[in-house]
């Protein structure tokens, strides 16, 4: 399956402003039939580097005026829904690979300490492994109302738990936190998710957020907002939560003027 992905994002910049961007696909995961090429206009020097999560980052200083960030590429994916494996097992903490341990700890938006008692009371005596993570997703999906007006960049998992409202990142944060409370490593993922194999959404396309849980010997994709396997996810960044995976971070004032995202299946 071939998917056209890209964006056209524009900001008004009042003064020269340093930026960090996570606007590339996650390296090594996808075959790009048409390569990505981040266009920055007006043109400025761009430094590319990898962060501690393996994300491809861009560093630049935007000049005063209108800043345009543009990318357009074609990625090839297997066209299969997210993997479901009801037999995937939860590992004991002492048996987990070292690289997964930081995804058990509290982070900026995931207050493990504040929800541990609830998590064990709600999920501790039931199914384990993949089925336990799915039970967490079912709970979050039914507990939280989705709506774009509920977006709030300061909202944490504990806030979502109490307010019962949020956007896709909030569903992910709450599910991640509950998994970590239960001793299951869980990491945040953000990227492209088009309306492939599902009814089209009338809202403008946006980047999406979901999460991955470490079970048996690998990472499994879960999505507490949609709560069913989807086709054509393309990861741009992984991290502990949204604080690690902000697609644009500015060290100064900027005003968003335009935000267009596309992720559509195209004929082979």
pLDDT single digits (tens) 113-123 = 999 999 999 99
Closest CA to 47 of 79, 71, 21: 21
Segment 168-186, tens digit of pLDDT: 999 999 999 999 999 999 9
Quote the pLDDT of residue 45.
97
pLDDT confidence tier of residue 202, bands split at 50, 70 and 90: confident
pLDDT of residue 252: 95
Q: Is residue 154 exposed (0-12), middle (13-18) or buried (19+ Cβ within 10 Å)?
A: exposed
Class of domain 2-78+247-266: mainly beta
- Whether residue 23 contacts residue 268, with contact meaning beta carbons closer than 8 Å, is answered with no
Domain boundaries, given as residue ranges, for the chain:
2-78+247-266, 93-239
pLDDT band per the 50, 70, 90 thresholds, residue 204? confident
CB 210 within 8 A of CB 223: yes
pLDDT of residue 38: 95
Mean pLDDT, rounded, for 156-162: 98
Contact in structure between 235 and 29 (CB atoms under 8 Å): yes
Q: Which residues contact 129 (CB under 8 A, 6 or more apart)?
A: 86, 87, 88, 89, 90, 215, 216
Confidence band for 215, pLDDT divided at 50, 70 and 90: very high
pLDDT given for residue 200 in this prediction: 87
pLDDT on residue 267: 82
Instruction: Examine the pLDDT at 203 and tell me if it is beyond 90.
Output: no
Question: What percentage of the chain exceeds 70 in pLDDT?
Answer: 100
Is residue 34 a contact partner of residue 73, using CB atoms and an 8 Å limit? yes
Alpha-carbon distance 195 to 199, whole Å?
Answer: 7
Bridge partner list, 261: 7
Preceding amide of 42 cis, omega within 30: yes
Beta carbons of 27 and 35 less than 8 angstroms apart: no
Is residue 201 predicted with pLDDT exceeding 90? no
Residue 186 Cα distances to 11, 47, 59, 140, angstroms: 33, 30, 27, 15
CA–CA distance, 34 with 37 (Å, rounded to integer): 9
Question: How confident is the model over 75-82, as a mean pLDDT?
Answer: 94
Q: What pTM was computed for the model?
A: 0.96
Task: Look up the CATH number of domain 93-239.
Answer: 3.10.620.30
């Amino acid at each position: 399956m071939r998917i056209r992905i890209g964006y056209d994002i524009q900001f008004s910049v009042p003064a020269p402003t340093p930026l960090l961007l996570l606007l590339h696909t996650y390296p090594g995961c996808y075959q790009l039939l048409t390569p990505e090429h981040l266009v920055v206009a007006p043109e400025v020097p761009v430094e590319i580097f990898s962060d501690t999560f393996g994300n491809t980052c861009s560093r630049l200083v935007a000049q005063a005026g209108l800043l345009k960030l543009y990318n357009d590429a074609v990625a090839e994916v297997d066209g299969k829904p997210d993997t479901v494996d009801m037999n995937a097992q939860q590992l004991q903490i002492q048996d987990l690979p070292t690289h997964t341990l930081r995804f058990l700890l509290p982070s900026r938006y995931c207050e493990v300490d504040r929800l541990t008692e609830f998590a064990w009371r709600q999920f501790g005596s039931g199914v384990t492994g993949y089925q336990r993570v799915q039970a967490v997703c079912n709970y979050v999906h039914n507990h939280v109302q989705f709506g774009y007006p509920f977006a709030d960049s300061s909202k944490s998992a504990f806030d979502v738990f109490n307010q019962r409202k949020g956007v896709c990142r909030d569903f992910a944060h709450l599910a991640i936190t509950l998994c970590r409370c239960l001793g299951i490593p869980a990491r945040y993922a953000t990227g492209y998710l088009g309306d492939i194999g599902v009814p089209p959404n009338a809202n403008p396309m946006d980047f999406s957020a979901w999460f991955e849980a470490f079970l048996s010997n690998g990472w499994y994709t879960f999505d507490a907002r949609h709560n069913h396997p989807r086709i054509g996810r393309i990861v741009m960044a992984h991290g502990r939560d949204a604080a690690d995976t902000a697609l644009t971070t500015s060290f100064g004032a900027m005003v968003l003027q335009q935000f267009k995202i596309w992720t559509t299946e195209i004929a082979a």
